[in-house]
Structure formats: C-alpha cells, structure tokens
Amino acid sequence: MSEKEKFIEMVEKKNSDQPEFIQCVREIVESVWDVYTGSEKLKKARILERIVEPERIIIFRVSWQDDAGDVHVNRGYRVQFNNAIGPYKGGLRFHPSVNLGLLKFLAFEQIFKNSLTTLPMGGAKGGSDFDPKGKSDNEVMRFCHAFMSELYRHIGPNTDVPAGDIGVGAREIGYMFGKYKKIKNDFTGVLTGKGATWGGSLIRPEAIGYGLVYFLQDMLELAGKDLKDKIVAISGAGNVAQYAAEKVIQLGGKVIMLCDSDSTVIDESGLDSEKLEHVMHIKNVKRGRIKEYADKYPAVCVTGKNVWEVISEKNIKVDIALPCATQNELNGENAKALIKNGCFCVAAGANMPLTPDAVALLRENKILYGPGKAANAGGVATSGLEMTQNSMRFNWTREEVDAKLKEIMKSIHAQCVKYGSGGGYVDYVKGANIAGFMKVANAMLEQGVC
C-alpha cells in the first residue's frame, strides 16, 4: 500500500462513520499529495495529519417549545476546523440530515474555499438537525433563539463568524443576531448575511449564484465560448439556484430546469425574469413546492426525481449544468447522461454535489468542471466583504460590491488555472485544491506546532 493510501486509511479508521468527510479528505489528499510530499518542511511539520483534525468541535442541546407548548430537543453543532489564516468562518445548516460527519466535510471544504477567496478567513461549519419546513415563524424564532443562547459563547467578530446555508436564510440570521445582541449587549459583525439596514452587505443574498456564474463565464471565456443562448439546467430552487438562474438569464443563457426535494420542473421555453420572480415567490414567500410553477406556466413536472435523474431518464439536451441543491446529488450515471446529451461544462453551486465517479467521468472526458470550493466561493467572499464593511462602519454600493465579487472570482479562477493546467485541459479540482491548501499549509508552518 502506498504512503498516500496508508494516510487515507488512517483517516478512514479514525472517522469510519463519516462518509462525506472521508470523501472530501480523499479528494484533497489525491490533489495535494505530490506537492506535500515534495516539501520536507511540510512533511516534517506533519501539516497533512494536523489539517484533517478539527481544532475544536462544540456539540450542544437545543430545547425549544412549539406553538402548542410542546417541548422539542434538537442537537446543535459548531465545527471550528482551522483558523490558520483568519477567524473561523462558515455557514449554519438547519436540516434533518445534519450530523457531525456532514458538518466536518462542509467545514473541511470551507478551509480551502476561504483560502481561495484571498480574504483572511479560517474554516468552520455548524448547524442543527432542526427542520424549519412546516414550522411557523414563531417556532423558527424560538428555535433560533435557543440555538444562539448556547452558540454565542463560542463565536465573535474576531473568533468565529457564522453565516447561512441550507435552511438558514435572512429570517434565521435575523433571529440569531437579535438573540446574540441581547445576550452580549454588543452590536457587532458576529454573523454575515444580515439585513441590509442593520449591517448586511448589498449583493450578499445574490453572491453565491452571481459568483458561480461569473466563475462560469471565466471558464467559458478561457475555452473560447460564452453563455449566450446556451441551454442551462440548474438543480435546487433555493438561494443559490435562484440567483444563479437570475444571472444566467441576464447574460443571455436559457434556464430550462429547476428542482426541489419534491420534484423537477422542465420549462422548454426557458425562464425569464417574470417566471423567476414567481419561483422566488413560491419558495421564499409561500415556502411552497416548485411543482406549483406548473400551475401558472406551461411546464412538465416530474415528482420524486431531481434534475439530473430527469435528464438521464428523458435524454434532455443541455449545454451547461449547475448543480445547486446538495451534496452527492449528481452520480456517475447522471454524468454519463449529461455527456451523452452534449453538456460541455459543469459548475458547482452546491458543496460537493458530484459523487467521485461523476467527477472522474467529467475529467476523463475533458468536460470543464468547476468544483464548489472555487465556483461557489462568491458567497463567503461577500461575507468577507460584509465583515470588512462592519469593521469600517461603512457600506459599499451595490456596484462596488459586485465589482469586488467579480474581481475575487477572477482571482480564484486564475489560481485554479495556475495549479491545474496541463495537456490542454484545466483540471479545476486539482488547481483549486492545491492553491487553497498551500496558503493554509504555509500559514500553519509559520505559526509553529500548535
């Protein structure tokens, strides 16, 4: 067994009940092994062994009461994985599937994503197995307050700055910020994704989706292509998917598919801004299901299948695929179907949305593939810009934030190209992993054994 395989086996043994974390570690190790073992200094300091071990994990009970007065108990987490280059930073996810392994994968991924943004942010993630679906606003508020009544002692503007993720949007950030401020008597930038009138950054809600499409544009430009009239399939119908769709439409692409955890809708004529506004109304205001889209506009609706399964089943032609729902949503079979149906570019809005065999197939077939840690980094980058504005007690305009976001996405793209080019193909996975890793590894080296 090679030294690399021995290393991965050691991580597997220690974390045997955490498949997503192991998957994510394997990908990083595969990419960085040669540069790591090529450096005596990094090896001697055992940087790789240290980097796969979280610096701190906090697990806590969250008790709250529903509207009927019944008491519920959920589990809260914060994984503070690495703060070598800045305060811990990463979102909070509220979803019944949340467990420690899932959050360790997301926090580990976040270390390298944050490093790529060029901003000083460490990696973290947190959340709870609480399900906001079907809960009243008051129930969500009581849960968020209960969650923050423990989390507040572990975070701070120079320590750890959480943000949103699946199930945590502007409403939840508002409730958590309110509780933090009350307990600490301190109005400070402890969370990002805040409302625009109380410390939030303009463009923050749009940033992941917009940043994804800016990154996509950079990939296409380098390959001598553009977005105009390209057929685009997007999975998810949440924050990332909505704003990715908005930017694709603005730039002349044709978005024909969206999905949620219940069903997929196909609108062959393509979404326009009015149709997208309706999607936002269904998902953000009514908190309903995407299939309601077909009540108003001509569309085919497939229940129980995501976008990639529907493409595989119906052989739908798409040029570009933007997975923006959740981890491991697109498998090898789906990747084969995408390639067969003419897809030449996949860019990840979600974190690790492709299974390893799907990624391998895209790379073998020289399909452009932008992994999440590079392509969706616009969200955390704009969170970083929100932190800067909070420190300065000053707000940049929409245009200023958008210009900075574009610049950051360009810089991430350039780092991927620098470390991932070879044989006429840019391996964005390798490029992103090496660039993200080296900065953190060198910072750890310079800070000594701690």
Active-site residues, by number, are 125
**Nearest residue to the partner ligand NDP, using Cβ:** 238
The helix/strand/coil state of 154 is: helix
Q: CA-to-CA distance for 438 and 432, rounded, in angstroms?
A: 10
Q: Which of 20, 27, 139, 329 binds ligand NDP (CB under 6 A)?
A: 329
Q: Which of 80, 326, 355, 382 binds ligand NDP (CB under 6 A)?
A: 326
Min. distance of Cβ 352 from ligand NDP in angstroms?
8
The nearer residue to ligand NDP, 42 or 168, going by C-beta atoms, is: 168
Question: CA dist 168 to 75, 264, 319, Å?
Answer: 16, 22, 31
- Contact window for ligand NDP (CB under 6 A) among 50-58, 343-351, 412-420, 437-445: 343-351
| Angle of the 239-250 helix axis to the 207-222 helix axis, nearest 10 | 50
Q: Which of 27, 260, 319, 427 binds ligand NDP (CB under 6 A)?
A: 260
Q: Which of 376, 389, 390, 415 binds ligand NDP (CB under 6 A)?
A: 376
Radius of gyration in angstroms for the set of CA atoms belonging to the chain, rounded to a whole number: 21
Question: CA dist 98 to 92, 166, 374, 389, 446, Å?
Answer: 10, 10, 23, 31, 35
Counting every residue written for the chain, the total comes to: 450
Min. distance of Cβ 262 from ligand NDP in angstroms?
5
240 counts as binding ligand NDP under rule CB under 6 A: yes
Min. distance of Cβ 169 from ligand NDP in angstroms?
6
Q: CA-to-CA distance for 87 and 85, rounded, in angstroms?
A: 7
Min. distance of Cβ 263 from ligand NDP in angstroms?
9
Site for ligand NDP in 202-231 (CB under 6 A): 208
Q: CA-to-CA distance for 411 and 192, rounded, in angstroms?
A: 22
Site for ligand NDP in 61-120 (CB under 6 A): 91
Q: With CB under 6 A as the rule, give the number of residues binding ligand NDP.
A: 27
Whether the Cβ atoms of residue 419 and residue 431 lie closer than 8 Å to each other:
yes
Q: CA-to-CA distance for 118 and 113, rounded, in angstroms?
A: 9
Whether the Cβ atoms of residue 302 and residue 263 lie closer than 8 Å to each other:
yes
The nearer residue to ligand NDP, 8 or 409, going by C-beta atoms, is: 409
The nearer residue to ligand NDP, 36 or 113, going by C-beta atoms, is: 113
Residues that bind ligand NDP (CB under 6 A): 91, 163-167, 208, 236-241, 259-262, 306, 324-326, 329, 349-351, 376, 379
